[in-house]
Structure 1
């Protein structure tokens, strides 16, 4: 019988027991899932499972249970494999049934052969996702997950490290020298089950999954969306409900780690075999290389459990819908007011004493495309669209009449040009949100960066781009570095794509012969000297109340002055409020309608549909920022006041400059 720890260290023993007890019944797979689901519900059990986000692959035992927090970057074609197969001993004619699920290589003894013609063979299907760490994930998020981990890991080879757990950032040598990883994996062959001549479990043309030797080809592109990203890319093999997942979803998967070096041997032998013909090997060499990379660089995870993540903030409960999470939310909401006041003061200092800009920055940081309803006001024949409540299905985005509602892109104009100010504002945002990226809008970046993902049909994969980001990522576009120059064709396409993301919250991926629309939910903050060249929902002109003699020292001291406990409250505040529901009562709806009609009577030229839409957005996020999930008369009036102050400032700046910002 398996010991208690086997479900972590040797999950195959658990699967084998369940398989043996339930075959030929077909429900053994369901019982495996239920077993591990119950195990992970035990106190802190999820923290016992080693994470590929935290621990280098060569520190993990092959065929052990691991987890991975990731984004689906691409989806490969489904593959067929032997879910159940039978081996036979030619000498004794003894037959044994085996399960092929969760495996890449068939298991059989040295005197056994697989009977490919057995009536017991069951061919099954699985889907492979190419997954990468969440793009732009903040350092504090990674550190918090590492701190919470109780996993005990040790090298899978004779090499003894100075500590039991290292992050990928501390393991750059292995990243730069993958041959060392391969050597270590080859040294751990004792942990691997296989035949004398291992057989792949896929029943489709096995020649379609060759490995190209790293020594004879260019370095493998791990296809991260953002430059400078670290961490593993994984081939995540999903066995059920894969239709519920889509590209760019953020997942947490629990499954069996496969880093079998035998795969490299098998693929190389197949590639070099003179018996292969053109029909058997229809995949290009590049496709083989991308779809079957070395397992030491791109490990496989055979998924037992997978779930979409509501968020990636480790300071919040993973699922806010559960009963035990409601106490956490209730307790935090009771102290919301002082947290908001402290955050407002902190951001006011960061924005050089501008409290109005700090107010709008808070509203921007808690904005999200998630709830909407269309109200129609008719005044002088005009149809005015505004926002109210309509809960959509989980995982979808709130879009009505094509225009996504709930987005709140802010253009912070008046920022110093060619200064470290925007860089430090971004560093502060990095410390507050779980995922972010600063896009420096220079002519060189626009002309040379790859913004839009495109399909590479030679390698049969989706080549990533900067705009392939997970939902709720904060994108800071730094326009202060933009100088005079000429945009080439690629630059024009990149700027257009950025504008479409802001306006429509979608990115049109390039599939060569057509474009495919991918909806997104990205918070965009634009910093600029004058009015941005890009569209925005709201322009706030910065009015510094102080000019520090040393900007670098001033900005750096802001973060060091904040207690870690207070900083964590800011992080919880911003993430939690994005997940709250929101509504407008019929009574307030009527009051807003009457107020708008009155505003139109008094100033029909300057009060437009856009003004109403923006004021309702400000009112919504203002309400949520104080923990109110419905609009009150007080918050509506405060929203109007903020908008009046913002517009007056823009008008004043227009008069100073003599032209429109």
Structure 2
């Protein structure tokens, strides 16, 4: 028999429908009702967010008392057409003609009473719009992310009270991931890490959304799904497909709409003064002692899209490592070891095998059935701009186009390093912070870089504007890996040296 969740301390979590009813009844104007509800719950839940049971950590929904507020960590996977609903109406007593105001804001049905008629054409009636979103639990999430959530946010039972943490502590968690958008060759690992928030962005983002009812379908590596309905016009513009949110609803059928975007707070910058040598050694060992490959892999792990220029993503660094031989037990073991290590370091890792059998037997892309308005899942998400670093592992040169293609140079491997929980926590924090650094390029540096680009273009064939963009991206990532907030000539030369070594290998 499931252990019931203990009764929350505040009424906003315990019986949110009553609180909403009071706010709506006391409000004189229908234009401000949703805003008043949002402001009230934003204020009330700010210090009690962790008292709300987390649906992802509950084995059975029966553990939660009906009507209680619950949270759901999810990814927005698809959007539906807007819905129209009656936000306010009147109940008319058949015998006395007495009229009562009723509201269906944050509800899926119209409430009625025995002996009363529903009047939706009265002067106070209001027809409003809301946007349904199809949300699923975070796909391909690494196990340690969920374990940290459960450790930090154990649901309160009737015999055990979990400890509370402040909202600021919550925001340090690395839990943001996105959907897949790139195809890979033979075997690939796709990852997405959370982008950190500035100090001014920390805290809960509260808006109008409604977690209304579960809607299951054929999902890939996903346990739960739901329809989330967004009421606030501003929120409709800010909520995006393939982004991660926490939504709040009634259990088991929702009415309240509170959500916040999941993002990670950053440690102080002085904590990132040097690259951890352990991480470089770990990556070098995973690439058969190839230090050049380890440098590229590190830059790949901290790369992110920070700008899109005319639809072209700027800042990404997709990486293809070739030289893996399926017939070699050692290399096969190394490939699995690399994948397992990435799962320990990153919030999300998806292993997608692109063999002929896999491509012919399973759907790779998600497709929407417009007759049923249902989304049929594939390995990849729907085609929306998404920041997902793609790592391609193959025997020969990959057919997939990547920013960097490098053939591994097998050297002597060292003894595998033992990854303790403490070391993993430090490396995860390092990768998160390095990925989130805003690295600048001074005017003086840009002038020097342009001069060297012009010189290289005169001396070498095949140097294009795209090559120059890659050099700048690599220089920026190398600077971020050292915790530097500005690209220097030293990082520029280091980037050119890496590229020179890579070109020499490709010509052999």
Tell whether the structures are fold-level matches, with TM greater than 0.5.
yes
Selected match of 1:405 from 314, 318, 322: 314
Deviation of residue 303 (structure 1)? 4.8
1:115-171 CA-to-partner distances (Å, cap 9, x unmatched) read 3444332222222111111221111111112222154257xxxxxx9999xxxxxxx
**Does 2:248 align with 1:248?**
no
**For residue 482 of structure 2, what is the aligned residue in structure 1?**
626
- Alpha carbons 1:102, 1:256 under 8 Å: kept: no
Aligned residues: 444
- Relative contact order: is structure 1 or structure 2 higher (C-alpha 8 Å, sep ≥ 6)? 2
Matched position secondary structure for 1:27? helix
Deviation of residue 34 (structure 1)? 0.5
Deviation of residue 4 (structure 1)? 5.5
TM superposition score normalised by structure 2: 0.80
Deviation of residue 632 (structure 1)? 0.6
For structure 1, the 5+ residue unaligned runs are 155-160, 165-210, 212-219, 261-300, 318-327, 372-397, 470-506, 508-517, 549-553, 655-661
**Does 2:120 align with 1:128?**
no
- Alpha carbons 1:357, 1:540 under 8 Å: kept: yes
Matched position secondary structure for 2:149? helix
**For residue 38 of structure 1, what is the aligned residue in structure 2?**
43
**For residue 63 of structure 2, what is the aligned residue in structure 1?**
59
**For residue 362 of structure 1, what is the aligned residue in structure 2?**
298
Residues 73-472 of structure 1 mapped to structure 2, 5 A cutoff: 73-149=77-153, 151-152=155-156, 222-224=217-219, 226=220, 229-241=221-233, 242-245=235-238, 248-257=241-250, 259-260=252-253, 301-309=254-262, 311=263, 316-317=264-265, 328-330=266-268, 333-371=269-307, 398-400=308-310, 402-418=311-327, 419-468=332-381
- Cα distance between partner residues in 2 of 1:141 and 1:368: 20
Residues 592-631 of structure 1 mapped to structure 2, 5 A cutoff: 592-601=449-458, 603-605=459-461, 607-631=463-487
Deviation of residue 235 (structure 1)? 0.9
**For residue 21 of structure 2, what is the aligned residue in structure 1?**
16
Cα–Cα, structure 1 residues 24 and 640, in superposed 2: closer, same or farther, change >3 Å? closer
- Alpha carbons 1:366, 1:578 under 8 Å: kept: yes
Cα–Cα, structure 1 residues 245 and 459, in superposed 2: closer, same or farther, change >3 Å? farther
- Cα distance between partner residues in 2 of 1:617 and 1:124: 47
**Does 2:503 align with 1:637?**
no
Cα–Cα, structure 1 residues 546 and 28, in superposed 2: closer, same or farther, change >3 Å? same
Deviation of residue 530 (structure 1)? 1.8
**For residue 421 of structure 2, what is the aligned residue in structure 1?**
564
Cα–Cα, structure 1 residues 447 and 246, in superposed 2: closer, same or farther, change >3 Å? farther
- Cα distance between partner residues in 2 of 1:66 and 1:539: 46
Selected match of 1:573 from 405, 423, 430: 430
- Cα distance between partner residues in 1 of 2:157 and 2:91: 34
TM superposition score normalised by structure 1: 0.62
Deviation of residue 221 (structure 1)? 5.4
- Cα distance between partner residues in 2 of 1:77 and 1:223: 21
Instruction: Tell me how large the CA RMSD over aligned residues is.
Output: 2.8
- Cα distance between partner residues in 1 of 2:442 and 2:300: 24
**For residue 486 of structure 1, what is the aligned residue in structure 2?**
none
Deviation of residue 633 (structure 1)? 0.9
Deviation of residue 562 (structure 1)? 1.6
- Alpha carbons 1:73, 1:464 under 8 Å: kept: no
Residues 452-601 of structure 1 mapped to structure 2, 5 A cutoff: 452-468=365-381, 507=383, 518-546=384-412, 558=417, 561-601=418-458
Bigger radius of gyration among the two: 1
